[in-house]
Amino acid sequence: GIVQEVDILVTRIESDGEEYIIPNKRVFNAGIVRIRS
């Protein structure tokens, strides 16, 4: 998906028309898997 916003507590990602809200703790532990331009 595409990162829409990085907040203090969560990261918002949009993918296939759906929005996912992921806690930053999970994002930082898992890392970024793939970046496409």
33, pLDDT greater than 80: no
16 vs 31: CA distance, rounded Å: 21
33 Cβ contact list (under 8 Å, min separation 6):
none
Which range marks the domain in which residue 18 is found?
A: 1-36
Number of domains in the chain: 1
Mean pLDDT of the chain: 82
pLDDT of residue 35: 54
As a residue count, the chain comes to 37
High-pLDDT (> 70) share of the chain, %: 81
Segment holding 20, helix H or strand E: strand 18-23
pLDDT of residue 2: 84
